[in-house]
Homo-oligomer: A and B are copies of this chain.
Amino acid sequence: MSTELKPFVEHVEMQGHIVDSLLLPKVLDAILSRGGGYHIHEFVLGEKQDNPSRVRMEVQAATSAQLEAILAEIHPHGAIPTDSKDCVTAVADIAGAYPDGFYCSTNFRTQVRLHGEWVEVEDQEMDCGIAIDSEGTSARCVAMTGVTLGDRIVVGRRGTRVFPPESESRRGNLFEFMASPVSSERPKAVSVREVAAAMKRCRANGEKIIAVLGPAVVHTGGAEHVAHLVRQGLIQVIFAGNALATHDIEQALYGTSLGVSLDHGLPTEEGHEHHLRTINTIRREGSIAAAVQKGLLTSGIMYECVRKQVPYVLCGSIRDDGPLPEVITDVLTAQTEMRAHIPGSGFCLMVATTLHSIAVGNLLPAWVKVACIDINPATVTKLMDRGSTQTVGIVSDAEPFLRMLVAELGKVVAE
């Protein structure tokens, strides 16, 4: 295998904590897995743990396509060609789609080279294109549907570079945040403590905390804990769907969630109608806020949000009943609305929702820390697969987890 001719070559370089962050091993593995070869020209391993390492190597491939595939794969790990040139752009010839060959973004910090200078890409988001402004001095991620005719869009990888996270959590024993495998069999008090600590650090840094919530938060009895966090100023924005809001309001109006009494846990079959009557009632009032103003809605998560002016984005889904007036039924509009709330956020608490967690995970840059709590390991695994360095997955039960989180946060926050 290694003896076959590999005449197509490119020189790449990497630097930073590339060994213990696993970036270099991943790059070498990727080259070999795809049938390529490498020749190390220079390698400096940081003698001590604080010294960065540096490598320069030749990547070899048997065909041009193979070389291209290898370079595409190792680029997001920070391996960039030695001879950098300015990035290349093409003009969007139709609205709502990129030109062919467009550069596809990651959620890692990214730079593009413009007029010989490396320029930071703004609004970093995965699976987007990069648009260059008309002066050619700034760059930002743009969603496919956001492309307008004539936009200059980056094509190819030339003149782009990516800064994958160096797993700073692993550096020394400062463990600000754990990066652990998904398992239900971990000490839960520790997980709670770490999430609480991350939330406090986030607020201390003046950053926003996003809460992404599914209806099981209410079904399990956790609405009061979230309401408490809103009151305490520990949640700055809520992303959810029609179900979370409806069940929360249903609980406030009827004492049930999807018809199950939160006092005695029994299904009240007529209560099966409660959620529909709840939605109808709010629709008759015109909005959740109107229902609060009128004194109709006097407790729960949505009530606290209205009272504390904590914004919420309720995203529509095809399984929705109603929906509530505030629900954004167009999913692209809902995405845009969520995007608007992300800048300035430092932490994202996702509880008991697969759909919304993945949707929000798609929008977050890699430097926003995420804790995903769900009783179903599959949800946690799915989310972590998309960004393991930023996400902590915790397999646990919504209400008991939130109860412990409130207690832990209260140890310091409560004045």
Query: B residues within 8 A CB of A170?
Result: 29, 32-33
User: Which of B175, B184, B399 interacts with A189 by CB under 8 Å?
Assistant: B399
Query: B residues within 8 A CB of A46?
Result: 40
Query: B355–A317 contact, CB under 8 A?
Result: yes
Query: B residues within 8 A CB of A264?
Result: 175, 190
| Bound form: Cα–Cα A2–B25 in Å | 25
| Bound form: Cα–Cα A268–B145 in Å | 26
A331 at the interface (CB under 8 A from B): yes
Query: A319–B359 contact, CB under 8 A?
Result: yes
Query: B residues within 8 A CB of A343?
Result: none
A187 at the interface (CB under 8 A from B): yes
Known: A170-B33, A270-B73. A49 touches B20 (CB 8 A): no
Query: B residues within 8 A CB of A38?
Result: 48-49
Query: B39–A28 contact, CB under 8 A?
Result: no
* Chain A contacts with B in 265-280, Cβ cutoff 8 A: 265-270, 273, 276-277, 279-280
How distant is A182 from chain B, measured CB to nearest CB, in Å?
8
| Bound form: Cα–Cα A264–B25 in Å | 23
How distant is A15 from chain B, measured CB to nearest CB, in Å?
15
From A107-115, A133-141, A374-382, the one touching the partner chain is A374-382
Known: A170-B33, A356-B318. A221 touches B187 (CB 8 A): yes
How distant is A215 from chain B, measured CB to nearest CB, in Å?
8
| Bound form: Cα–Cα A39–B50 in Å | 10
Query: B residues within 8 A CB of A194?
Result: 265
A292 at the interface (CB under 8 A from B): no
A89 at the interface (CB under 8 A from B): no
A283 at the interface (CB under 8 A from B): yes
Query: B residues within 8 A CB of A97?
Result: 280, 283-284
Query: A73–B174 contact, CB under 8 A?
Result: no
Query: B residues within 8 A CB of A362?
Result: 319, 321
From A228-236, A255-263, A304-312, the one touching the partner chain is A255-263
Chain A residue total in the interface (Cβ 8 A): 121
* Chain A contacts with B in 59-85, Cβ cutoff 8 A: 69, 72-73, 76
| Bound form: Cα–Cα A213–B133 in Å | 41
User: Which of B355, B358, B385, B397 interacts with A396 by CB under 8 Å?
Assistant: B397
User: Which of B2, B104, B335 interacts with A49 by CB under 8 Å?
Assistant: B2
Query: A49–B34 contact, CB under 8 A?
Result: no
| Bound form: Cα–Cα A190–B401 in Å | 15
Query: B residues within 8 A CB of A205?
Result: none
Query: A268–B190 contact, CB under 8 A?
Result: no
Known: A25-B25, A32-B170, A178-B266. A188 touches B318 (CB 8 A): no
How distant is A335 from chain B, measured CB to nearest CB, in Å?
6
Known: A69-B268, A265-B194. A273 touches B104 (CB 8 A): yes
| Bound form: Cα–Cα A186–B215 in Å | 11
A94 at the interface (CB under 8 A from B): yes
Query: A334–B318 contact, CB under 8 A?
Result: yes
**Interface, chain A (partner B; CB < 8 A):** 1-2, 19-22, 24-25, 28-35, 37-40, 43, 45-50, 55, 69, 72-73, 76, 94, 96-98, 100, 102, 104, 127, 144-145, 170-175, 178, 180-181, 184-191, 194, 215-216, 219-221, 257-258, 260-270, 273, 276-277, 279-281, 283-284, 315-322, 329-332, 334-335, 338, 354-356, 358-359, 362, 375-378, 381, 385, 395-397, 399-401, 403-404
The 8 closest A-B pairs by CB, nearest first: A400-B400, A190-B265, A72-B270, A187-B221, A319-B359, A185-B219, A97-B283, A20-B28
